[in-house]
Amino acid sequence: MSIYGYARVSTADQDLTIQREALKDAGCEIIREEKISGTSRQGREELKTLLEFLRGGDTLVVTRLDRLARSMDDLSSIARELHERDVALKATEQPVDTSSAAGKAFFQMLGVFAEFETNLRRERQMEGIVKAKAAGVYRGRKPSIDVGEVKRMRDEKGMGPSEIAKQLGIARTSVYRVLKS
């Protein structure tokens, strides 16, 4: 029965020191760390490694649940995996301890609020983009595909979509989309 820690920040310029110290104080023998967004599990190799490594009787410790997941679906999925393998989940800054009934209930409530916060942030971001577009400030991302070049390669060189995509280093579906418009 071992205690493992998981620390995560969203960007490379953020610091893991506070989380690392809290996890050490909680008795974590091994701490896995990542600097990556928590909105999905994709690309979170340290979390993947840790989840594969945990065994029955072990405990996974995080400082806060939002360090583990940003959506209720993701958090529930991780919690289910841990429960099925008899691994407890604890948070140092929240009264979460899935080895008790009260801790499980609180864990689920916090997960709902974490997802709500993420959704609110996304809504505010979209409202800001709409406002910036209306003011002429935001124009979106610059196109990464030269539409003229795609059409020129088709018309002047007689190239097909697959060959165009290969030469320009873009997806074939992107070429089809350009040629369709």
Fold of 3-118: Rossmann fold (3.40.50)
* 76 pLDDT above the threshold of 90: no
Helix intervals (H) in the chain: 17-25, 45-53, 72-84, 101-134, 147-155, 161-168, 172-180
Domain boundaries, the chain: 3-118, 147-180
103 within 8 A of 75, measured Cβ to Cβ: no
Residue type, 122: R
pLDDT band at residue 141 using 50, 70 and 90 as cut-offs: confident
The lowest-confidence range among 122-131, 140-149, 157-166 is: 140-149
* 137 pLDDT above the threshold of 90: no
Choose between 143 and 7: higher pLDDT. 7
% of the chain with per-residue pLDDT over 90: 46
Concerning whether 10 is annotated as a catalytic residue, the answer is yes
69 within 8 A of 78, measured Cβ to Cβ: yes
- 80 contact partners, CB below 8 Å, separation of at least 6: none
Structure tokens at 10: 């969203």
Which one of 10, 37, 71, 76 is the catalytic residue?
A: 10
Residue 100's pLDDT is: 80
Residue 110's pLDDT is: 72
For the chain, list the strands marked E by DSSP.
3-9, 30-35, 59-62, 88-91, 96-97
pLDDT digits (tens, 9 = 90+) for 91-119: 999 878 888 888 778 777 777 777 788 88
What is the rounded CA–CA span in Å between residue 65 and residue 13?
21
pLDDT band at residue 176 using 50, 70 and 90 as cut-offs: very high
Structure tokens at 132: 């910036």
Query: What is the rounded average pLDDT of the residues 30-48?
Result: 87
pTM above 0.75, yes or no: no
Count CB atoms within 10 A of the CB of residue 177: 14
Residue type, 179: L
What is the rounded CA–CA span in Å between residue 100 and residue 82?
14
25 within 8 A of 63, measured Cβ to Cβ: no
pLDDT band at residue 53 using 50, 70 and 90 as cut-offs: very high
pLDDT band at residue 43 using 50, 70 and 90 as cut-offs: confident
pLDDT digits (tens, 9 = 90+) for 114-128: 778 888 888 999 999
Q: To the nearest 10°, the Cα dihedral for 45, 71, 73, 104?
A: 100
The lowest-confidence range among 72-76, 153-157, 172-176 is: 72-76
* 140 pLDDT above the threshold of 90: no
